[in-house]
Structure 1
Amino acid sequence: MNRVNVEKILRKVETESCVLNNIKRVVVFKAKNAYSLLKKSGFNEDEIKKGLECLLDEGIIFKVSVDDKNAKIVLSKDVTIEDEYIWEKENYSIVYLILTLISLVCVSLMIFTIYFPNWYKYTLYYMKYPLLGFLGFLLVAGVVRWIVFLITLVLYESQLWIWPNLFADCGFIESFIPLYEWVGPETKNE
């Protein structure tokens, strides 16, 4: 059995997205799905178990325990059908390559603006103000929501968050919905 073959086959296994140690987004695959995919590829139980153990020993995959979309690495190297694993290095799609190239082009354009014609320099000069205004808005909004939170932290049992999703992992419009949220102990009806 070849480790590279097992790895290539397992890269096609069904995955789900989780957050590792509340820091990094990773894809998790279940040993049950890996077993069924490798069996379809012609491997027997012992070869599958040895292949997964080999990948674990070489640090290509890591065993994790997943609860409520949060993953934590488990140090055990036992292989059972109920286990879940993450890849040490994920395969990146063409989207990451395209985004990297776009970033490089943008940085190159910023560096080489001294060689551009004057009309282009003026256009860039006036385009930077809306961008700086937007970044300033986000900075001021973050400071204002922090100050309001601190004031309500001192004065009330519950705390008020303005734009509770402002820095959450969601879309731009969803960052401002809901407008506010009270956080803390439940208020009693009298």
Structure 2
Amino acid sequence: MNEAPKELLNVAKYLRDPAQSGLRLREGVVNGRRVEYFKGKSAVNAILKDSFAHKSRPSASDREEASEILADLVRYQFVVRCDRSSESDTRMLRLNPQQTFNEDSYYAWLYEGSQWIVVLGGIGLVAVVLAGVMFPLWPPILRDGAWYLSVAGLGFLGFLFVLSIVRLILYVITVVVASPGLWLFPNLFEDVGFFESFVPLYAWDTPKKPAAVAGKQAQSAVAEGETGEETKKEA
């Protein structure tokens, strides 16, 4: 792998980046080691995408040329050819004695990409642990700041807890008094951003229509529109 041409290394980096290549990576186990693997056909499709074309990478105009590039990845041991143990267990892989490339086979990554993020994460973890251990040696202003931040964090968690109880009580009351019920901060526990969680301030609990009903209504609306257009044409 260390002796591989630089342009082949750029191919490996491209395929390891799903945002660029769109290559679907699956998780498997080879000889007790957890790996990521892909199907040869998917890698060929990724190389034939427009995003692959770059002066730092070899060119590929058809599936045959793309397969030759991927065969070089196998030759320089960026990937290894594997077989799945069975269709029912797609995670267990075993090495194929014939290390060649074809679109119907599966290939596990030996190349793990740049490790600088892992290194920085390890350094950051050690720094946090050391900072916690050395807390008594912090300057008074830093210790006071850390105390205020912890109190603010606990206060915010307490606020969310109280708010959750209040909004539930309000909803139960309004369900009885003014159905269908009123939610305070309806997006509070939805999968949205922090500020979007508090917008809008309130909303009525309108039940969502089933997908089948919504689909029928949409079809009816389209049919009515087509009928109206035909009526206009006849007029």
TM-score (normalised: structure 2): 0.41
Give the number of the structure whose alpha-carbon radius of gyration is greater.
2
